[in-house]
């Protein structure tokens, strides 16, 4: 199918001439209003050598005042122009600085073609490798290497050939195969839109011709797929709406709805409330299914014969976008299309030096860094490798507390262990076990600073429950670190994993019908919220033991604060590491109050 829109990414090092090149493309295709062009004849950057009255093409794409002041591109600037064949070209001017890698990644995520500029004066630089690496990771298969400023080197073919050979040496490693090299001068206009006599030794396409020759690849996935974006109900009508992303549908087609594996037939296809016989790729439609199977937003509709594999374990490249580092074992929200589900980064295999391609061992990712990770989702998803399908192979990660986007990912492949594991249901379940014990199973999650009194309260609470004939068990943080969590330290990453393991054990014990009491510092709100998400409503009672830090210091029952003061414990909560107070705990206890009173307050929630 011929795409009506072509998305073009331009990238290069500082002063390689990206903005000038784009500006010339826009002007010479009459894609810029005349008054804007006139302004570019009058306004000048600081230090500009362009004569008065001539167009400064670079001004036509810069959108931030800070960019003009510094003479660089910081944010991604977007412009639109029409191609000769009627298609619309969306041009993104990506920043060249390494600290703005995430800006380039965002621009590259939807690009069909990339132009990588190389300054003929300076030759191939380390940034060139970085930009090619990002193009490869982001699935841009068509790359144009624009060797610019040939006018400044006398249009020498030898310089063009040398640069071409240097880049060709790294292309196989990056798996970039559809690459063309185009010599040009953005400032003069040589070989941008029209050929000029200045490059008689070059017989290939102009830059504009190379852009216009691009056509999308045929779908690598032939079976039809559509994610459900909304379910429509009105006066007996029920349909599911979405955009067909792969293949196509027709009335009478048998389809399967995932993850429930329900079979139905398409009885009607509606577009703009008008009925049609078929729906092709990129069509936004409403499907009416018979029978009316249970279906919700985020579900996948596919041809019933399609070989769809759902998994909850994936290998992925992850670009970290947030100022706070990635913490593996911490729970984030994964969003892919309309699908939203909790996810954990279970392993960071390595990070990628985008300047050299080297794989570097890492236990976290900082802003602008790219790594290969393994993730585990809370529910099976029909994701595909990113190079096979961008739509079904991309995702973003969201912070569960502030809902900021913190990462962007590209699926490499699903992990077999995720596809080969099936939940086994047993006839004896939690309700049966609760009935046998004559109690309601739940977890009492005690959190607070070291020395706040959590373990003391947990001990008395278990004794009181035992005296009442109830079945309870304490999961104490220090005790667990002597066994189950003996391999963990006290970094944010290890604390997240500590909470994850304890919450999973607590979940099993609650399923066994027990009342579980955890005495755990668990200093980070997002980790506690992830623990809460494992339990049914009412089964997780968060108890904040609110004790002032000076009282905890005075108590210091385990000598931790003394060791911290001597520099022996750098990550002690309250001293070397912050504690985030619970946002909406079920119970807040005064850690300086009588212990019997505090225990009784918890018992009221249990009995």
The pLDDT tens digits of the residues spanning 476-525 come to 999 999 999 999 988 888 999 999 999 999 999 999 999 999 999 999 99
The answer to whether residues 159 and 195 touch, using CB atoms and an 8 Å cutoff, is no
The last residue of one of the domains, among 158, 183, 212, is 212
Mean pLDDT of all residues in the chain?
Answer: 86
Which CATH number fits the domain that encloses residue 61? 3.40.50.300
Tell which wins on pLDDT, 246 or 61.
246
CA distance 490 to 407: 24
Instruction: Extract the tokens encoding 274.
Output: 């008008």
- Picking from 349, 352, 348, the residue whose alpha carbon sits closest to that of residue 328 is 348
The last residue of one of the domains, among 394, 419, 444, is 419
Q: What was the pLDDT predicted at 119? A: 93
Q: Is residue 425 part of a domain?
A: no
Least confident of 368-372, 420-424, 484-488: 420-424
Domain count, the chain: 4
pLDDT of residue 103 exceeding 90: no
The answer to whether residues 190 and 199 touch, using CB atoms and an 8 Å cutoff, is yes
Q: What was the pLDDT predicted at 304? A: 83
The answer to whether residues 510 and 473 touch, using CB atoms and an 8 Å cutoff, is no
The answer to whether residues 566 and 556 touch, using CB atoms and an 8 Å cutoff, is no
What residue has token string 């609650």? Answer: 510
What average pLDDT does the segment 166-184 reach? Answer: 91
Alpha-carbon dihedral sign for residues 374, 379, 385, 389: negative
Q: In angstroms, what CA-CA distances link 68 with 12, 27, 103, 152, 422?
A: 18, 19, 18, 24, 57
Helix (H, G, I), strand (E, B) or coil at 70: helix
pLDDT of residue 222 exceeding 70: no
147 and 37 both lie in a single domain = yes
What average pLDDT does the segment 312-337 reach? Answer: 91
pLDDT of residue 368 exceeding 90: no
The rounded radius of gyration (Å) of the Cα atoms in the chain is 30
% of the chain with per-residue pLDDT over 90: 46
Q: How many other CB atoms are found less than 10 A from the CB of residue 49?
A: 6
19 and 165 both lie in a single domain = yes
- Picking from 318, 363, 325, 315, the residue whose alpha carbon sits closest to that of residue 105 is 318
Q: What was the pLDDT predicted at 65? A: 44
Strands (E), 321-433: 331-336, 339-352, 359-360, 370-381, 394-398, 405-414
What average pLDDT does the segment 134-144 reach? Answer: 88
pLDDT, tens only, 61-84: 655 444 444 555 456 767 788 887
pLDDT of residue 194 exceeding 70: yes
pLDDT band for 52, please (50, 70, 90 cuts).
low
Helix (H, G, I), strand (E, B) or coil at 139: coil
199 and 241 both lie in a single domain = no
Q: What was the pLDDT predicted at 109? A: 82
Q: Is residue 380 part of a domain?
A: yes
The last residue of one of the domains, among 212, 240, 274, is 212
Instruction: Extract the tokens encoding 485.
Output: 């969590």
The answer to whether residues 541 and 515 touch, using CB atoms and an 8 Å cutoff, is no
pLDDT band for 18, please (50, 70, 90 cuts).
confident
Q: How many other CB atoms are found less than 10 A from the CB of residue 95?
A: 22
Q: What was the pLDDT predicted at 47? A: 63
Q: How many residues does the chain have?
A: 607
What average pLDDT does the segment 339-364 reach? Answer: 89
142 and 276 both lie in a single domain = no
pLDDT of residue 234 exceeding 90: no
Burial (0-12, 13-18, 19+ Cβ within 10 Å), 314: buried
Q: What's the pTM value of the predicted model, to 2 decimals?
A: 0.77
pLDDT of residue 163 exceeding 80: yes
Tell which wins on pLDDT, 418 or 385.
385
Q: Is residue 424 part of a domain?
A: no
399 and 477 both lie in a single domain = no
295 and 341 both lie in a single domain = no
Does the active-site annotation cover 198? Answer: no
Burial (0-12, 13-18, 19+ Cβ within 10 Å), 336: buried
Q: Is residue 217 part of a domain?
A: no
516 and 592 both lie in a single domain = yes
460 and 514 both lie in a single domain = yes
Tell which wins on pLDDT, 221 or 320.
320
294 and 322 both lie in a single domain = no
pLDDT band for 44, please (50, 70, 90 cuts).
low
Which CATH number fits the domain that encloses residue 382? 2.40.30.10
Q: Is residue 530 part of a domain?
A: yes
pLDDT band for 30, please (50, 70, 90 cuts).
confident
Which of the residues 205, 435, 522, 533 is marked catalytic? 522
pLDDT band for 1, please (50, 70, 90 cuts).
very low
The answer to whether residues 184 and 149 touch, using CB atoms and an 8 Å cutoff, is no
Q: What was the pLDDT predicted at 97? A: 64
What average pLDDT does the segment 552-556 reach? Answer: 88
Q: Is residue 413 part of a domain?
A: yes
Helix (H, G, I), strand (E, B) or coil at 517: strand
- Picking from 324, 352, 372, the residue whose alpha carbon sits closest to that of residue 496 is 324
pLDDT, tens only, 561-577: 888 777 777 767 766 67
Q: What was the pLDDT predicted at 64? A: 43
238 and 362 both lie in a single domain = no
480 and 572 both lie in a single domain = yes
What backbone phi and psi angles, to 5 degrees, belong to 436? Answer: -65, -30
Least confident of 155-159, 165-169, 545-549, 552-556: 552-556
415 and 434 both lie in a single domain = no
Q: What was the pLDDT predicted at 98? A: 67
Q: Is residue 219 part of a domain?
A: no
Beta bridge partners of 345: 375
Q: What was the pLDDT predicted at 459? A: 96
Which domain range does residue 168 map to?
A: 5-212
């Amino acid at each position: 199918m011929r795409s009506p829109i072509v998305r073009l990414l331009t990238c290069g090092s500082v002063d390689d001439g990206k903005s000038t090149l784009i500006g010339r493309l826009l002007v010479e295709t009459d894609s810029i209003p005349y008054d804007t062009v006139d302004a570019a004849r009058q306004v000048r950057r600081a230090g500009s050598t362009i004569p008065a009255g001539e167009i400064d093409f670079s001004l036509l794409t810069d959108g931030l005042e800070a960019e003009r002041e510094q003479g660089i591109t910081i944010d991604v600037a977007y412009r639109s122009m029409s191609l000769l064949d009627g298609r619309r070209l969306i041009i993104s001017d990506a920043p060249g600085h390494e600290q703005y890698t995430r800006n380039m990644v965002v621009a590259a995520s939807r690009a069909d073609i990339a132009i990588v500029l190389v300054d003929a004066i300076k030759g191939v630089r380390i940034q060139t490798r970085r930009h090619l690496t990002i193009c490869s990771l982001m699935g841009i298969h068509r790359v144009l290497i624009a060797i610019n400023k040939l006018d400044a080197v006398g249009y020498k073919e030898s310089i063009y050939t040398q640069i071409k050979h240097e880049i060709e040496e790294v292309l196989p490693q990056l798996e970039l195969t559809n690459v063309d090299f185009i010599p040009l001068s953005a400032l003069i206009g040589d070989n941008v839109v029209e050929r000029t006599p200045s490059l008689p030794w070059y017989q290939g396409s102009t830059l504009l011709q190379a852009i216009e020759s691009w056509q999308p690849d045929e779908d690598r996935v032939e079976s039809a797929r559509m994610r459900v974006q909304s379910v429509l109900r009105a006066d007996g009508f029920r349909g599911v709406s979405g955009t067909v992303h792969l293949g196509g549908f027709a009335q009478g087609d048998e389809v399967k709805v995932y993850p429930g594996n329900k079979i139905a037939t398409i009885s009607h296809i509606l577009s703009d409330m008008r009925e049609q016989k078929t729906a092709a790729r990129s069509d936004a439609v409403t499907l009416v299914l018979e029978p009316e199977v249970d279906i919700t937003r985020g579900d996948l509709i596919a041809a019933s014969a399609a070989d769809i594999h759902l998994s909850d374990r994936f290998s992925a490249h992850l670009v970290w976008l947030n100022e706070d580092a990635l913490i593996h074992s911490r729970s984030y929200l994964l969003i892919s299309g309309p699908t939203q589900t909790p996810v954990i980064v279970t392993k960071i295999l390595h990070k990628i030096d985008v300047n050299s391609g080297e794989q570097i061992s890492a236990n976290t990712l900082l802003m602008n860094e790219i790594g290969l990770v393994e993730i585990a989702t809370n529910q099976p998803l029909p994701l595909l490798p990113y190079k096979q399908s961008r739509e079904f192979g991309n995702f973003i990660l969201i912070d569960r507390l502030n809902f900021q986007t913190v990462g962007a990912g590209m699926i490499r492949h699903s992990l077999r262990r995720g596809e080969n594991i099936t939940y086994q249901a047993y006839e004896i379940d939690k309700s049966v076990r609760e009935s046998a014990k004559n109690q309601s199973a739940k977890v009492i999650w005690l959190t607070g600073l070291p020395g706040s009194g959590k373990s003391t309260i947990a001990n008395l609470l278990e004794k009181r429950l035992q005296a009442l004939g109830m079945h309870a068990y304490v999961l104490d943080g220090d005790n667990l670190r002597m066994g189950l969590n003996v391999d963990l330290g006290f970094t944010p990453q290890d604390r997240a994993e500590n909470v994850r393991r304890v919450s999973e054990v607590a979940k099993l014990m609650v399923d066994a019908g027990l009342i579980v009491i955890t005495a755990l510092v668990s200093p980070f709100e997002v980790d506690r919220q992830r623990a809460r998400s494992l339990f049914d409503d009412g089964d997780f009672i968060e108890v904040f033991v609110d004790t002032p830090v000076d009282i905890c210091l005075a108590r210091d029952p385990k000598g931790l604060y003394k060791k911290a003061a001597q520099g022996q414990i750098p990550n002690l909560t309250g001293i070397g590491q912050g504690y985030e107070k619970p946002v909406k705990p079920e119970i807040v206890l005064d850690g300086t109050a009588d212990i019997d009173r505090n225990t009784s307050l918890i018992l009221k929630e249990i009995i």
